[in-house]
Amino acid sequence: MDAAIDMDMDSQKQASRWQRIYRVVRRIPHGRVASYGLVAQLAGLPRQARQVGYALHALKRGSRVPWQRVINARGEISQRAEPEAERLQRALLESEGVRFDARGRVELARFAWRPKR
């Protein structure tokens, strides 16, 4: 039980760091995408794009965080252990109107989120 408590505390410790990341991701408008690097920067964690991926990976279903709108700087859906999640992400984005080219990349010039600040 102590172990469970410790584990929970660790989770919250990370949550405080990831909390900022989730807050930024929630700001991404419907039908728009943002890169991990941009999210990291807006979350006040410059040069920590990888941590954004880590944080999103830790998300649970029903988290209300539009994780599907976060892709890499090349406009591609990043690969991961579960190829299934990758297809789901693309399906979700397409249902929002985001288009993919033949190479499976998003036209960033048209769909990249450009926050005023």
Binding site for DNA (CB under 7 A): 10, 13-14, 17, 35-38, 47-54, 56-57, 59, 67-68, 70, 72-74, 78-81, 85, 89, 103
Nearer to DNA among residue 8 and residue 10 (C-beta): 10
Label residues 72-106 b or e (16+ Cβ within 10 Å = b): beebebeeeeeeeebeebbeebeebebebeeeeeb
Q: Which is nearer to DNA, 32 or 53 (CB)?
A: 53
Nearest-approach distance from CB 1 to DNA, in angstroms: 19
CB of 22 to DNA, least distance (A): 11
Residue that is written with structure tokens 């499976």 in the block: 104
Place of tokens 């920067």: 41
Q: How far is the CB of 18 from DNA (least distance, A)?
A: 8
CA dihedral over 35, 66, 69, 85, signed as positive or negative = positive
Smallest gap from residue 10 Cβ to DNA (A): 6
Q: Whose Cβ is closer to DNA: residue 12's or residue 29's?
A: 12
- Cα–Cα distance measured from residue 101 to residue 85, given in angstroms and rounded to the nearest whole number: 19
